[in-house]
A and B are shown apart, each in its own frame.
Chain A
């Protein structure tokens, strides 16, 4: 008999490196975009 659905048991353990990477990249993206806006605004002012 071919199963039509599989029930996943258990829970993923660990993985903090992925969590830290996700939050770090989010903060870095916002910081770098802010920096680019600041640099471009200064360029337009001058």
Chain B
């Protein structure tokens, strides 16, 4: 069954991404990100229904195990979005183009939102499984530090008025904040942790893998939509701050 389902879920996810950028009629009628967002919304609607009512109970956690299908994708996609912020920060520092900087701003904000969701869902998951809402476990602490450092990036960004200096400081601080991501990922292996280590597909049933991947694709597509919309807001704000000739030059580039 998995031989059919796993490629299927990835294929449908990839089709959603490809159709956003590939179809000329989409480009003419809408901003390119809207089909991705719509695809993500649809995918998450189906994924939620399957996660709640279709997937069998987890062997030890029973119905509480259904929280996995939103908690784990939130963790994965928070890290993916922070990685996008890291790449865009490098892009700005190497090229000096403000478009990269707007992308860093967008990705940091969406990453913080996803990270906050991850922590809240983890807390809800922790109560019935660990009998506590929060503990200073290495994975939980590293995840909290991950969110706080990227909030710090956004606060620092808000405190600098000059656009070029703001972009440089944002780029450098994003790279520094990103250093915690591998630590967060590896924390369950490096230190004694209540949090389980990363699962492999071989430890999960086919239905569970299918819904997990479906929800992960949905979170990714929704995050791309969020980042693209946030990028447009950052761009509009930056252009409104610039004098008219600079404004036109940036828009052209």
Q: Which positions in A face B, CB cutoff 8 Å?
A: 8, 10-16, 18-19, 21-23, 25-27, 29-30, 33-34, 37, 40-41, 44-45
Contact = CB atoms under 8 A, between A and B. Distances in A.
| Count class of interface residues, chain B | 35 or more
A34 B117 CA distance: 14
Given A26-B74, A41-B232, 18 more contacts: A11-B61, A12-B61, A12-B128, A15-B64, A15-B128, A18-B128, A19-B52, A19-B63, A22-B66, A22-B67, A22-B121, A22-B125, A29-B113, A29-B116, A33-B113, A40-B233, A41-B229, A44-B236
A34 B228 CA distance: 12
A12 B64 CA distance: 8
Interface in B195-253: 222, 226, 229-230, 232-233, 236-237, 240
Contacts of A29: 113, 116-117
A32 to B, nearest CB: 9
B70 A22 contact: yes
Q: Which of A12, A13, A45 has the most CB of B within 10 A?
A: A12
A44 to B, nearest CB: 4
B139 interface: no
A37 B117 contact: no
B193 interface: no
Contact of B48 (A23, A25, A33, A45): A23
Q: Per DSSP, are chain B's interface residues mostly helix, strand or loop, or mixed?
A: helix
A7 to B, nearest CB: 11
Nearest to A44: B236
A4 B59 CA distance: 23
B124 to A, nearest CB: 5
Q: Per DSSP, are chain A's interface residues mostly helix, strand or loop, or mixed?
A: helix
Q: Which of A21, A30, A45 has the most CB of B within 10 A?
A: A30
A33 B226 contact: yes
B124 A11 contact: no
A29 B48 CA distance: 14
B117 A19 contact: no
A15 B117 contact: no
Contacts of A25: 117, 120-121, 124
B188 to A, nearest CB: 17
